[in-house]
Amino acid sequence: MWYFKFYEHRICLLWFLRVRRTLTVATILCIVIVASMLTACGSATGQVPHATKTPTPTSVPTPTPTATPTLVPTPSPTQASVPAQPAILDLQPASMSFLGHRDCQKNAAYVCLARVLSRASNQSDLNWSTYTDVPGHIVFNPPSGNLPPGQSVVVTITVPLNACTPGLFYFRGPINTHTITWAC
């Protein structure tokens, strides 16, 4: 019996040593692979110093003296003009929404009116444009323009009767954008 016990312990010990040897070999192999990859990528330890070119001295001719320059009077500073601030766009109707059946004329299409205004305090002309996210053939007339300070223009918005998807009409100026909500 004692022989079998000794034999079992011997087999377990041999198995343990065999597994340990395999792990050791695998670890060494991994270290070798990582080291070769670092060398191939040009790690700091595996870089080869580059040869540097030594500059050669050249002779520079001695400059000849020139005449003393005369002073030219500088013009007096002028008042710098301040650029005009971009114009601000204002929009009517004040409700900022259109319900087609209530706020617009209904003929072959809904016809709605909006007013684009350039504030009287604007220092420059208002360049504005329109666009929409409502699907269908929506027409703005005029679709864009240029207004002097204090002026306004009425924009006609024509919406087909079948374009009842809710959305927005956009009126964009140089520094601000207004929207009008649309629904049938």
Number of domains in the chain: 2
Position 78 in a domain: no
Backbone angles phi, psi at 24, to 5 degrees: -65, -45
Question: 104 with 179, same domain?
Answer: yes
Residue 75 Ramachandran class (φ > 0 left, ψ -120 to 50 alpha, else beta):
beta
- Predicted local distance difference test score (pLDDT) of residue 7: 55
Question: 30 with 97, same domain?
Answer: no
Question: 100 with 178, same domain?
Answer: yes
Pairwise pLDDT comparison (33 vs 142), residue with the higher score = 142
User: CATH number, domain at 101?
Assistant: 2.60.40.10
Spell out the alpha helix ranges (H) of 94-149: 100-103
* Burial of residue 10, with CB atoms counted within 10 A of its CB: 0-12 exposed, 13-18 middle, 19 or more buried: exposed
Position 66 in a domain: no
Q: Is 125 helix (H, G, I), strand (E, B) or coil?
A: coil
Position 55 in a domain: no
Measured CA to CA, the distance from residue 171 to residue 115 in angstroms comes to 10
Per-residue pLDDT tens digits for 40-49: 765 445 455 5
Pairwise pLDDT comparison (32 vs 141), residue with the higher score = 141
Measured CA to CA, the distance from residue 154 to residue 171 in angstroms comes to 12
Are 182 and 168 contacting, i.e. CB atoms less than 8 angstroms apart? Answer: yes
Peptide bond into 142 cis (omega under 30): yes
Above pLDDT 70, what percent of the chain? 68
Which domain, by its residues, includes 23? 2-35
Residue 159 reports pLDDT greater than 90: yes
Per-residue pLDDT tens digits for 85-129: 899 999 998 778 888 888 899 989 999 999 999 999 999 999 999
Question: 97 with 166, same domain?
Answer: yes
Position 81 in a domain: no
Position 56 in a domain: no
Position 59 in a domain: no
- Tell the residue number behind the tokens 């927005």, with chain if given: 168
